[in-house]
Structures are given as structure tokens and as C-alpha cells.
Chains A and B, each alone.
Chain A
Amino acid sequence: MAGVGHKSHGKRHDKSHDMGLHAEQLTGRTQQRFFSAAEEENFTYPWAYDVDFDKTAEFDAEEMDSSAINLKIRELMQSGHGTITVKNPRAKHGVGVGILNRLNLKFEGSLGYFGCGLVDGPNIHISGRVGWSCAENMMAGKVVIDKNAGSTFGAAIRGGDLVCRGDVGSRTGIDQKGGTIIVGGRTGAFSGFMMQRGRMIICGDASKSLGDSMYDGTIYVGGQVEDLGVDCVPGEMNDTELKWLKTKLGMYGIEPACGIENLKKFVSGKQLWNYDNLEPAEKKLVL
């Protein structure tokens, strides 16, 4: 459960302002964090399995249904396997969900709907495409997709990095509450709809109503923006952000065609929703 520390000090305070977080710096698992698989403190669940990244396993999922695949992953983690490869997932739905553990997980193929949802901690690579609602409600970790993704990509994520190297559908990052979404190609309509926190980097074009009704958070776009949604306004890029963007995109070897320094920034105009003036107790209610 996130706590709210509404007063920040010193460098941290300055950075939060520079990064567009104003004075409200969340603590706990909803905060923006730079995920590293080696950071033991990221994995705090007492029931998490003690896995060894050097202990590898792979299995063929062609004849398995979704629950059997998820059960198999859990069994392998239970026996200490820290690196698991799943072959032929064949676009099945709800695969790789609810993993609250350190894990290197690789899917050789495509996932269907709700792939990798509700995860907290794993480092997941998908060599194919993903369907709707990939990584919905992700808390922490990394999910990297090599091909395209469907709509509601990264809906309501709270942390971690969600990366699609190809194009994604509509409503990308709807209700995003933290973390970073990176799209290598273009994104569909209503991306960033009701976004509350976190960052979204779209290297290609953004379709209509970008950032519609967003509360907070930041969207960076490399290509053309068809039009802005209600209360989404252009923002001004600063050096801290530019440095962060270079670091973040560099981690995944992604560079927008326009160049990182030419990314356009969009933020909330805070005319529609504005909780910055609320008392801390009230903030807790709405967040």
C-alpha cells in the first residue's frame, strides 16, 4: 500500500519538480523506480520463491492451456528456476500473470489477451506480439515485446517498464498510475486516457485524443499527434528529463526517428482534475 509523503526536500525535491511530479512524491511500490534485476530490495514478498537466475528451464506450451502454463511456471519457480523459456504460447490468453517474484521469463511466440498482467518483479521478454491489456496492473519489473501490441496496453500499471518495439492499439496506458510505457512505433486513439502518474514515450505517431482527461503524468511523442484530448497540453522539456529519456530509451536500444532531443512533451492542463490542492487525507482517498 502506498504511503504519501507530501513534503520532499533537497535534491529529491528538485528532481520531482523537474520530472513533473510537483510536490507529491509517492513512496512504496507505486513510486517510479528504476528496475534492476539485481536489486534484492525490490522483492519484498515473504512468500517469494528463492530462485537462481543461472538455473534455467524451458517447456513447450503448444498443447497446454493457459492455467497449465501458469502452473508450470510457478512449479519451476518453486524448484528454484530463475530463468524460464516458454515455447509456442500460440497467442493464448492470460499467460504469465500474477508473478510476484524475481524471474527471467521468455516467451518464444505471441501472447493473447491479458498477458503478463498483475506482475510484480519479473523480467519478461516476448519475441512475438501481445493482445489486449498486456501487463495490466503491473507493479514492478520489465516486460519487453518485440512485435506489435493490442489495445489498452499497460492499462493501470503502477510501476516497472513496459516496452513494445512495434505499434500498439488504442487507449495505451489508460489509467496509468506509475511506471514507464515505451512504444517504438505508433499508438492508437485515446492513449494516456485518464492517466494519473508515470511516463509514456511514443516514438512514432499518436492518434486522436492523446492524453484525454489525464490527471497527471507525462507523455513524450516523437511523431505526429493527430489531436490532443481534453485537458492535455504541451509541456516544456528540461535537461533532467532529457537525461532520463536518454537513459531509459538507451536501456532498450530504442531511438525515435526524430531524435530524443526532439521528442514533444505533453502534460495535464489540470483544469479538469486537480488534486494538488487537496489535503493529504483527501489525496489518499482519490489515489
Chain B
Amino acid sequence: MCGIAGLIHRGKSADIGTEMTAMLQSLKHRGPDSTGFALYGNPTDNQYVMRFKVAEQEDMNKGFDIHRQIAERQKEVDHRLESLGVNVKRRNQATEYSHRYTFSFAGDMRKLADYVEDIDGVEILSIGEALELIKDLGDAAVVSEQYGLAGFEGTHGIGHTRMATESDVDIRSAHPYWAYPFNDVSVVHNGQLTNYWSFRRRMERRGHRFVSDCDSELIAVYIADRIGQGDDLEQAMNRSVDQLDGVFTYLVATSDQLGMAKDVMAAKPMVLYESDEFVGLASEEVAIRSIFPDEIETWDPYHGEVKVWQV
């Protein structure tokens, strides 16, 4: 059991950091292990935001040498970015092991990602013009406070509260997943994929990289693979419902779209609310009601249903 949530402010920007925190905090009972946010801010021309980590949270308790190691890893990231001609405009540090860089770059983004992730212990959480992906251990309030998400202005976002079932409690197994190497694509998932290993091997043979053993990562990779083959988001999601086995409900966001898909057994929950100004989705209505105190019309999508909204 995990909790997922998403929201869209149609045609305007709002404090989605605070709103997503409230939604995910109200889903804490569905998964207290870790919390993740994929927030879509207001992009600046030709500027990318990269969120990456240079260690796991649990690594911080493993001896005195870790502080020297992570400082070296960050220095190596800087060195490699410079060698690729990346112009880093701003460096922010939310925790000792997680960083946010703003940069401009005209080269091959996949090459950049591969080169940076080649450094031992370094993992890129997201790259995008609008997307900022934040995930860490703890509930929504803790992670939001730690990363200063209150006041984050944006148009849409998705989030996840995790109850680990098939992989470790660590940041690499936490959601959302970035659909490497596509800018601004992120995925959150509630459920279990039963053909994960066979499908993962198929995706690895096609050259995709997996950073964790979490079955949910497969959805991000699958969506990236389909987009790479020319599908639009809705086509890729419709195909996933036929090809992925198991019980699942998942959300995908891009810079201008947000979609949901539900498996053919309709075994995992999702509640929707839609108005002219706002779209809210969550595993439980209580999450939507955390930002809408008044009575609203909500409903459950049905089996195998895929919906994509334009932001």
C-alpha cells in the first residue's frame, strides 16, 4: 500500500509545494517510509534544473569518512559538468547529500546524465526545465521542511508516500521516478508489477538504465521507452495497461500534461476531482479534501482507464 496524489492548477501558478505537502501528509497512513514530490515550477528560458544526490541518507551514519567522500563526489560532478561545457548558474544544497543545480546547456542531455551518474554514489533525481524532483525518508512534513518546499510556485505536481514492500527503504527506491533521459517526465505508482523482472530484462537489453530494484521504476522506464519510439503520453499509458501485469494505479507528469492509469482489475484506489480551474487526484479523497475544505464532487475511475489532462 502506497499513497499517490497529483494536482493541476489550470492556466495559473500556485503554491503547489504547500498543497502537495498537505495532500501527502494526509496520506501518511498509506506509507510512512519515504515521501517524494515531483513539482513543476515556472521554467526560465534555456535553463535546466538538476536535482541529484551524492549519497543515501543511511550512508551518513556509516563512519567519519563519508563527509570527505561526498565532498569529493560533488567536486567530481562539478568537474564533469564543466568538461561538458555546462554553465552552472546556481548551486543549492538542501541536505549534505542532495543538491540542486540551475544551469544552461545546449548539448546531449543523455550524455550529461550518463557522465554524471558514472560517478560512484551519484544519482540524478531529475533534469528538466520545469520539473524538480525531491524525495527522502520521512513523512511529507519532514521532507517538505527539510527541502524548503513551502512556497514553491508551480502549475502542477505529483507525489508519493511509500510503504516499501519489494525493495529497500532508501532514496533510490523512493518515488517519484524520473523517466530518464527525458526532461520533465516523472512517475509515481501504487501497486505491484508482477512481470517486473522479465520486463526489466527486456528494457535493459534495449539500453535502459535502472537505478533501483523497485518495480515502480519500470513504469518510468517503460514510458520513456515508448515516448522514445514516438508514442505520445496517452498512447504510451494505454499500451502500458495492456503490457504491464499486476495491480497498479500510477500518475505520470510532463511539463504540460498529467495522466493517470489504472490496471484492468481496478484493484488500486484513485479518486478524482475536476473543475475548470483545478484537477485533483489521490489514493483517498481525504488528500483532496486537505486542500478543499468545501464539499466537492469526486469519483473513482474504472478498470483499465487512462486519462490525460493538459495543464
Q: Report A's interface with B, CB cutoff 8 A.
A: 62, 90-93, 109-110, 112-113, 127-129, 131-132, 147-148, 150-151, 166-171, 188-190, 207-208
Contact = CB atoms under 8 A, between A and B. Distances in A.
Contacts of B230: none
A135 to B, nearest CB: 16
A128 B289 CA distance: 12
Which range contains the number of B residues in contact with the other chain? 10 to 19
Given A128-B295, A171-B266, 18 more contacts: A62-B293, A91-B284, A91-B285, A91-B289, A93-B284, A112-B284, A113-B284, A129-B299, A131-B271, A148-B297, A148-B298, A148-B299, A150-B300, A167-B300, A169-B300, A170-B267, A170-B303, A208-B303
A132 B1 CA distance: 14
Contacts of A171: 266
A147 B296 CA distance: 10
B109 interface: no
Nearest to A90: B289
Interface string B272-286: 000000000000111
B271 A150 contact: yes
Contacts of A128: 295
Nearest to A186: B302
Given A90-B293, A188-B302, A207-B302, A151 B285 contact: no
Contacts, number: 72
A122 B269 CA distance: 28
B265 interface: yes
Contacts of B265: 170, 189-190
Contacts of A127: 295
Interface string B47-88: 000000000000000000000000000000000000000000
A110 B299 contact: no
A110 B286 CA distance: 9
A92 B286 contact: yes
Which one of B265, B289, B297 has the highest number of Cβ atoms from chain A below 10 Å of its Cβ?
Answer: B289
A147 B297 contact: yes
A104 B300 CA distance: 28
A225 B265 CA distance: 17
| Interface SS of B by simple majority | loop
Nearest to A112: B286
* Closest 8 pairs between A and B when the two form their complex, measured CB to CB: A169-B300, A170-B266, A91-B285, A189-B303, A91-B286, A91-B289, A148-B299, A188-B302
Contacts of B269: 131-132, 150-151
Given A131-B284, A207-B303, A110 B298 contact: yes
Interface of B: 264-267, 269, 271, 284-286, 288-289, 293, 295, 297-300, 302-303
22 contacts: A90-B286, A90-B293, A91-B285, A110-B295, A113-B284, A129-B297, A131-B271, A147-B297, A148-B297, A150-B300, A151-B266, A151-B269, A151-B300, A169-B300, A170-B266, A170-B302, A171-B266, A188-B266, A188-B300, A189-B265, A189-B302, A189-B303
Contacts of A188: 266, 300, 302-303
A88 to B, nearest CB: 8
Nearest to A93: B286
Contact of B299 (A90, A112, A167, A170): A167
B258 to A, nearest CB: 21
Given A91-B284, A92-B286, A129 B302 contact: no
A62 B295 CA distance: 12
A190 B299 CA distance: 18
A208 B302 CA distance: 10
B302 A131 contact: no
Nearest to B303: A189
Contacts of A113: 284
A169 B302 contact: yes
Contacts of A166: 299
Contacts of A207: 302-303
